[in-house]
């Protein structure tokens, strides 16, 4: 499951890619991207591979969300170990452009706003409901918004990401106070300038980020030093 | 994985039940309790059943911890979806006494302090390391200690549970302030009396507890209205 924030008229909205099923059960229905675990493949690797094969997307760090295994969730007995990641819209766009240039853009993929989902195959609507609940529970002023922000960001940008995930406005002064007290943001010497008064740029404390992955930590990808962490 | 706090000379210590393997691989080694998922059984039900079959223990609420699926973690390809719960020592003792009275106490079970584990079968030492990391990350002044406390408890008792999990002392005044500000404790009109001055008894706010289980919520067990929640 990949979440991104997509610009829209009323502010950014959470969206995720769906894949149209080309065979039964649920042929023609939309579903979460996924696939089968290979015999010689770890869970994390299978999540990355099936995501890439179905959507063309890669994420620097996919995190295990939950294993769903109700007896009647498919026509045969299927246990789905669901992974998720947050991707910035510009990362999604760049990956899409690269596939278009290479002529290997995947078919049968479409992005849907989470508030406007069709009836999906299997229990996938319920899985998304669970993921959104986890996402909204964790968001507050925490690092969770990290995966949807550039490396440096203003506190207003951080707040807007949080507001989009939560679907409600946050008090700017309270948010600023909590964010500054969180111990996870490092102020830079740079400022965002534009039509508003200059706003200081912040970045996340990578040391905190990596420590929080704990015993499951893997060496960060060489091409992306900061994994996009949703929660521990 | 079942954690309890066991009294010891230096204060309570975290302990968990292990099962001695009676066949290869790792025959004679200690391992986490577990077993195979039946074709007609959900994941939660399988966790409860295999825990009961191997250790004789039941927990009102087992929570999914993580799925472990490295290719080389067993001699065949095995994915383990690990569940955990916290049980009070008096619950453990009562369940053990009931099995002894019925003559059906399971064999090949022993409790081990987490700081004194033998070399376990498979990757079970690593799984416990991960669980302890999650437990210690979540403990703070949160509801996590709930499963190790009676229905009503003093703030000192709550602090001592937290200290045992963390393996370090906490400042009593800071802890009291944070606990009272957490919004999850309800003061009662009752007090613990004894050799010290009377201390007010608190209980957890069950409404908060149930709300936090979110879309995965099941109706609480009729014989135990408050599930033992480790984290959301």
Phi and psi angles of residue A113, each rounded to the nearest 5 degrees, phi first = -65, 140
Q: What is the mean pLDDT of residues B58-78?
A: 94
pLDDT for A210 equals 53
In the structure, what pLDDT confidence band is assigned to residue A42 with cuts at 50, 70 and 90? Answer: very high
Q: Where in chain B is the domain with CATH 1.10.10.10?
A: 140-232
**Tokens at B58, concatenated:** 């039941």
For the stretch A188-202, pLDDT in tens is: 999 998 878 899 999
pLDDT for A223 equals 36
Residue A96, number of CB atoms within 10 A of its CB:
17
Counting residues of chain B whose pLDDT is more than 90, the rounded percentage is: 70
Q: Where in chain B is the domain with CATH 3.90.79.10?
A: 1-138
pLDDT for A214 equals 63
Contact A42 B69 (CB under 8 A): yes
Calpha distance A50→A37 (Å, rounded): 9
Counting residues of chain A whose pLDDT is more than 70, the rounded percentage is: 88
Q: Is A29 in contact with A112 (CB distance < 8 Å)?
A: no
In the structure, what pLDDT confidence band is assigned to residue B143 with cuts at 50, 70 and 90? Answer: confident
Phi and psi angles of residue B85, each rounded to the nearest 5 degrees, phi first = -155, 160
Q: Is A37's Cβ below 8 Å from some Cβ in B?
A: yes
Counting residues of chain A whose pLDDT is more than 90, the rounded percentage is: 69
Contact A81 B71 (CB under 8 A): no
More confident residue, B152 or A208: B152
Q: At a CB cut-off of 8 Å and minimum separation 6, what does A128 contact?
A: A1, A16, A32, A114, A117, A120
Homologous superfamily of domain range A1-137: Nucleoside Triphosphate Pyrophosphohydrolase (3.90.79.10)
Q: How far is CA B42 from the centre of its chain?
A: 21
Coil, helix or strand at residue A185: strand
pLDDT for A225 equals 34
Q: A86: closest CA among A185, A189, A164, A174?
A: A164
In the structure, what pLDDT confidence band is assigned to residue B178 with cuts at 50, 70 and 90? Answer: confident
Contact A64 B64 (CB under 8 A): no
Q: Which residues of chain B neighbour A134 with C-beta distances below 8 Å? A: 214, 232
Q: At a CB cut-off of 8 Å and minimum separation 6, what does A10 contact?
A: none
**Tokens at A167, concatenated:** 């679907």
The helix (run of H) or strand (run of E) holding residue A156 is: helix A155-166
Q: B16: closest CA among B49, B46, B42, B55?
A: B55
Q: Which residues of chain A neighbour B68 with C-beta distances below 8 Å? A: 43
In the structure, what pLDDT confidence band is assigned to residue A171 with cuts at 50, 70 and 90? Answer: very high
pLDDT for B196 equals 80
Q: Is B119's Cβ below 8 Å from some Cβ in A?
A: no
**Tokens at A229, concatenated:** 């962490």
Q: Is B6 in contact with B17 (CB distance < 8 Å)?
A: no
Instruction: Spell out the alpha helix ranges (H) of B20-109.
Output: 43-55, 89-102
Calpha distance B4→B146 (Å, rounded): 11
pLDDT at A219 exceeding the cut of 70 = no
**Residue A103: which region, alpha, beta or left (left: phi > 0; alpha: psi -120 to 50)?**
left
Q: A179: closest CA among A213, A198, A154?
A: A154
**Tokens at B42, concatenated:** 């959900």
CA distance B94 to chain A (A): 32
Residue ranges of E strands in chain B: 2-6, 13-20, 30-31, 63-68, 80-86, 109-113, 185-192, 199-204
**Tokens at A207, concatenated:** 């040391």
Q: What is the mean pLDDT of residues A105-120?
A: 95
**Tokens at A220, concatenated:** 């960060």
Q: Which fold has domain B140-232?
A: Arc Repressor Mutant, subunit A (1.10.10)
Q: Is B38's Cβ below 8 Å from some Cβ in A?
A: no
| B214, closest residue in chain A (CA to CA) | A133
Calpha distance B42→B218 (Å, rounded): 13
Q: Was domain B1-138 assigned CATH 3.40.50.10860?
A: no
Q: Is B130's Cβ below 8 Å from some Cβ in A?
A: yes
pLDDT at B167 exceeding the cut of 60 = yes
For the stretch A54-107, pLDDT in tens is: 999 999 889 999 999 999 999 999 999 999 999 999 999 999 999 999 999 999
Q: Is A217's Cβ below 8 Å from some Cβ in B?
A: no
In the structure, what pLDDT confidence band is assigned to residue A184 with cuts at 50, 70 and 90? Answer: confident
Q: What is the mean pLDDT of residues B6-22?
A: 91
pLDDT for B206 equals 75
Least reliable range by pLDDT among B22-36, B144-158, B201-215: B201-215
Q: Is A123 in contact with A70 (CB distance < 8 Å)?
A: yes
Q: Is A32 in contact with A128 (CB distance < 8 Å)?
A: yes
**Residue B195: which region, alpha, beta or left (left: phi > 0; alpha: psi -120 to 50)?**
alpha
Q: Is B63 in contact with B229 (CB distance < 8 Å)?
A: yes
Q: What is the mean pLDDT of residues B46-73?
A: 95
pLDDT for B158 equals 92
Contact B81 A81 (CB under 8 A): yes
pLDDT for A218 equals 47
pLDDT for B213 equals 59
Least reliable range by pLDDT among A62-76, A94-108, B149-163, B198-212: B198-212
Q: At a CB cut-off of 8 Å and minimum separation 6, what does B61 contact?
A: B85, B221, B227, B228, B229
Q: Which residues of chain A neighbour B77 with C-beta distances below 8 Å? A: 39
Average pLDDT of chain B is 88
* ipTM for the complex shown: 0.86
């Amino acid at each position: 499951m990949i979440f991104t924030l997509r610009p829209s008229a009323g502010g950014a909205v959470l969206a995720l890619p769906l894949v149209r099923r080309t065979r039964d059960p649920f042929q023609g229905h939309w579903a979460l991207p996924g696939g089968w675990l290979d015999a010689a493949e770890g869970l994390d690797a299978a999540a990355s591979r099936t995501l890439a094969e179905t959507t063309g997307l890669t994420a620097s760090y996919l995190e295990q969300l939950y294993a769903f295994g109700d007896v009647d969730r498919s026509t045969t007995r299927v246990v789905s170990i669901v992974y998720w990641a947050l991707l910035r819209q510009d990362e999604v766009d760049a990956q899409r452009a690269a596939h278009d240039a290479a002529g290997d853009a995947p078919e049968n993929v479409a992005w849907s706003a989470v508030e406007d989902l069709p009836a999906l195959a299997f229990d996938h609507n319920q899985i998304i409901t669970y993921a959104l609940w986890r996402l909204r529970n964790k968001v507050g002023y925490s690092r969770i918004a990290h995966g949807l922000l550039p490396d440096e960001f203003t506190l207003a940008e951080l707040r807007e990401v949080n507001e989009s995930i939560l679907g409600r406005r946050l008090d700017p002064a309270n948010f600023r106070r909590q964010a500054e007290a969180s111990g996870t943001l490092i102020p830079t010497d740079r400022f965002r300038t534009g039509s508003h008064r200059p706003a200081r740029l912040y970045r996340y404390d990578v040391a905190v980020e990596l420590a929080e992955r704990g015993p499951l930590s893997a060496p960060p990808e060489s091409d992306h030093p900061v994994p996009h962490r949703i929660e521990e």
